[in-house]
Structure 1
Amino acid sequence: MKVSIVGVTGYSGLELVRLLNNHPNVTIVSVHATRDIGQKLSNIYSYLKGVCDLPIEVFDSQAIMAKSDLVFFATPSGVAKELSADFVKADFPVIDLSGDHRLPAETYQKWYGKEPAEQEILNQFTYGLTDFTYVAGKKWIANPGCYATATSMALIPLIQAQAIDLKSIIVDAKSGLTGAGKVLSESSHFVNVHDNYVTYKVNRHQHIPEIVQTLKQFDSQLDHIQFSTSLLPVNRGIMATCYVQLKEGVTEDDIKQAYQKAYADKPFVRLQSSLPELHNVISSNFTDIGFAYNSVTNILTVVSVIDNLVKGAAGQAMQNMNLMFGFEETAGFMRIPSYL
């Protein structure tokens, strides 16, 4: 299958190049960006020499559709919503890694502060949380956000099992710096991040409505969660630490069974006997989940870790592609995490 990548010079775009290059059924035939047009991608990023020597092309929807079978958008929020309509109207498959097609128009405008895509276009997209969404045969996928993926994966089994007080959910999520994107800012400057720990966007992060929207599918009575985000002085990885109160009569064994039932046939979810750590998932598509119960407070702590650029972005996008087109779900993936 032939694919194109729009937004190839961002972190997620480059991660798509890395992953798709290892896929046995895929060839990258074009890469697109808004700068360095005509330059070989490998001239800009020398680690790609001999791996992806394609020239960077200006975006042209007709040219992409003429040479490809699928287009990935790895663009900043606010871009894909302007460019996706041509593909949808032409019945051409799209996987959008940005937030532009995840939320209803009114919600998107409130939380992203941008004009939304046309509702007619938004209605065509399926939210592709791969472990809980059937995407086989779908053509237009809104790939979930990184915080949303880690948090939803931690909480869905508990909500499915009706094991927790829905009003008790508190999430403390932490991300490596690549989660903030490549645009330089005061918050990502080395001297402000190195040997530091910064909490940001408390109650304001744009993934909050995405998480609530997803969790409501499993219990419509859920209205909100308490959610905070922090930056870790590491390159990549997300750790979502979730605190919930168990309903009366729910035991640790009930919790264990809920997770085993939810993830029994999921190749990229690993249930750990202890609380997981970031190093165990770096550069992989795995989600590692573990929990600990405090019988004194009746609080369950659940920790979910992912690589924000893989399972939180490019990896889940490729997993969605595999399921959409009938490839083996693990095709192109099964490598040991880098750990160090």
Structure 2
Amino acid sequence: MRNYSALLVLVAVFLFSSCEPERVVIESGTAGFDGHHVGYSWAGEANGVPFEESGAFIETILELDEDANILTARVRYWQLVDGYWTTRQSGNAHVTVDFSRTPTPATVGTNYQAGQSMFSIYTANQMSFWAVAVADDGTVAATIVEPLTRYRFEMKFPGDFDFRTEMSELTLGSGLVVPTVRTAGGAWLTPGSWEDLENRHLFELHRYSYVMNDTGVFSEVDGRSSVRAFLQAMGVEFAGDTPISMDPEYGYFGIGGWRGNYEQIERYLVGRNARSVDSLVDWVPDRFNSAINEQNQFGVDVPTGATRTVQNSVDGIAGATVRMSRESTSYQRALVDAGILNESDVIIGRF
């Protein structure tokens, strides 16, 4: 047990310290446009938690010219994991596979219980995550964190599997793809039972499933693609019809998980004038505006018909598919640091 604990400590050091920039809180400088300006939002702020005591915060750093044009933008989500500060978008992970295990489905609903998984995954966040490995006998273990349910879907193929099989045949009812572990709450799609989705496959689970292959590693893969093409997109090589042994590999599909989301925000901002972009969210729609209370807190006192979150994966607020109110708070505070907004203008998002 002591050796196992030591291994976890070493893994944590590798993931959350050696590959990360040093966590530095930048002090606010003299108000003005030219230069770097920083803003923060943090978990628990709306409930009175001080910044110094929070275990997660978002940092926005803007470089402006003298006319407030945005020259560069940096958005980072910092979180405390096992005593180490890391960014949610770091992408670092430690993955191991137990080929002796057979994946079994999780129990959904109020009595959620994880199923049996082949994978042990240690990382800050699993949004858009995929991993694959091949045993010496050609057995393939693959997993994808399906974005709408936020469950880890696992596949185990023996070396003599017919890899010409189309992905559309890998329905939830086929037993060839198994939702084993819920990686996060707040999913867009929350089935009452897996039988509700038994005739659907990974790339057509919902009308928004296109986010998996609209761009990125699976951009050439869909329901008509072969399982072989799907595995090759993740780096699996074949000798004839048999997969070649490989250690676990992992990555992030679509725009690239949290890193891709925040890069989208940064690209949206660069080249615009900060005085004309006073928020990352358009607060005019009543469903958003009516959810802001007298303390300028969003999503705390929510009337009927309003919303607690600004998560718009369809329209892509500020160029990203990410819950935006907390990121907007951090951005607005950078504008306060630049003298463009006052603190009283800042809307405290739901963190």
Same fold (TM > 0.5): no
TM-score (norm 2): 0.28
- Select the structure that is richer in helix: 1
User: How does the TM-score come out when normalised to structure 1?
Assistant: 0.28
